[in-house]
């Protein structure tokens, strides 16, 4: 496992370095939808990551945001977001990351999230804790929702779908101390693991947004469920995560 840990941490750093170098240069932008975009840097980061994984672990499966799935029946599967926070990145707003997780027999066993602008490397290994630059993490101890800092996001179909999180945002805004909308769910959840925020919720996330970061939250002592309070899975349509102390309070607001 040590070999894989070293490999994935170095790989995340390589991809992050590429993103930072590309950030200050002309970066071609392509639109997948009205407001959903992908940049040349997304593709370059993904190509780098996939090439290295395929070279080192050719029999492993791969699920990545910008490419077709590979070796779907493999016991070991990498789940990759080569650039989470693409809209931020395209505008030069420095809140984005690389997210890489490894799943074994359907269970995520390790995850890395790397924020290259701050040189923050978040890492989690199942049953071995979550870490930021080598320092063990624990979720916050805030127990009152009214004193909690939360984060959330809005889906790309916000202009056309009524299931767009605006109603939940309005309900939560008057109950929490404050809400932030940074625009990179994987990094938001890493911040929750680090105690920088106290809770998070969002709709319509994808496995590459959550695989590494939700392991991080759990290993840091946090709680994750769907927005009905049930068991959360990678393919769940909604997610609520917290330090555990405000989880029931958040669920109550979101269900009212």
Q: What is the pLDDT of residues 69-87, one digit of tens each?
A: 999 999 999 999 999 999 9
Beta bridge partners of 79: 63, 101
Instruction: Return the pLDDT at 155.
Output: 86
Contact 68, 57 (CB under 8 A): no
The contacts of residue 77 (CB under 8 Å, 6+ apart) are 60, 61, 62, 63, 71, 102, 103
* Region of poorest pLDDT, from 14-18, 35-39, 79-83, 88-92: 35-39
Predicted confidence band of residue 25 (pLDDT cuts 50, 70, 90)? low
Tokens of 164: 């767009």
CATH architecture of 145-254: 3-Layer(aba) Sandwich (3.40)
pLDDT classification of 157: cutoffs 50, 70, 90: confident
In 3-state terms the chain splits into helix, strand, coil percentages (rounded to 5) of: 35, 25, 40
Tell me the pLDDT tens digit for each residue of 181-224: 999 999 999 999 999 999 999 999 999 999 999 999 999 999 99
Q: Environment class of residue 73 by beta-carbon count within 10 Å: exposed (0-12), middle (13-18) or buried (19+)?
A: exposed
Does the pLDDT at position 54 exceed 80? Answer: yes
In the chain, % of residues over pLDDT 90: 85
Query: How high is the pLDDT of residue 1?
Result: 77
Query: How confident is residue 34, by pLDDT bands cut at 50, 70 and 90?
Result: low
Distance between CA atoms of residues 79 and 216, nearest Å: 14
Which CATH class name applies to 2-136?
Answer: alpha beta
Position 228 confidence tier, pLDDT thresholds 50, 70, 90: very high
Domain boundaries, the chain: 2-136, 145-254
Which strand (E) or helix (H) includes residue 39? strand 37-39
pLDDT of residue 241: 98
Mean pLDDT of 95-116: 98
Task: Taking residues 79-100, report their average pLDDT.
Answer: 95
133 exposure class (CB count in 10 Å sphere: 0-12, 13-18, 19+): exposed
For residue 33, the model assigns a pLDDT of 66
SS3 of 158, please?
Answer: coil
Asked whether the predicted pLDDT for residue 111 surpasses 70, the reply is yes
pTM summary value:
0.94
């Amino acid at each position: 496992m040590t070999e894989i840990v070293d490999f994935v941490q170095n790989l995340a750093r390589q991809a992050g370095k590429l993103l930072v170098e590309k950030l200050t240069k002309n970066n071609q932008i392509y639109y997948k939808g009205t407001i959903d975009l992908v940049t040349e840097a997304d593709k370059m980061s993904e190509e780098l990551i996939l090439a290295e994984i395929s070279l080192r672990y050719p029999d492993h499966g791969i699920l990545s945001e910008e490419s077709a799935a590979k070796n779907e029946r493999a016991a070991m599967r990498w789940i990759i977001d080569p650039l989470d926070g693409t809209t931020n990145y395209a505008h030069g707003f420095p809140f984005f990351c690389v997210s890489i997780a490894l799943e074994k027999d359907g269970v995520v066993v390790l995850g890395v999230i790397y924020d290259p602008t701050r040189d923050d490397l978040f890492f989690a290994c199942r049953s071995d804790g979550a870490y930021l630059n080598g320092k063990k993490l624990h979720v916050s101890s805030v127990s009152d929702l009214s004193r909690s800092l939360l984060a959330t996001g809005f889906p790309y179909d916000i202009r056309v779908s009524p299931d767009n999180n605006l109603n939940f945002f309005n309900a939560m805004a008057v109950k929490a101390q404050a809400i932030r909308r940074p625009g990179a769910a994987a990094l938001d959840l890493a911040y929750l693991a680090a105690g920088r925020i106290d809770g998070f919720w969002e709709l319509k996330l994808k496995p590459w947004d959550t695989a590494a970061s939700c392991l991080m939250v759990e290993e840091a002592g946090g709680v994750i469920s769907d927005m009905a309070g049930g068991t959360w899975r990678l393919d769940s349509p909604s997610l609520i995560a917290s330090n555990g102390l405000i989880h029931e309070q958040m669920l109550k607001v979101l269900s009212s």
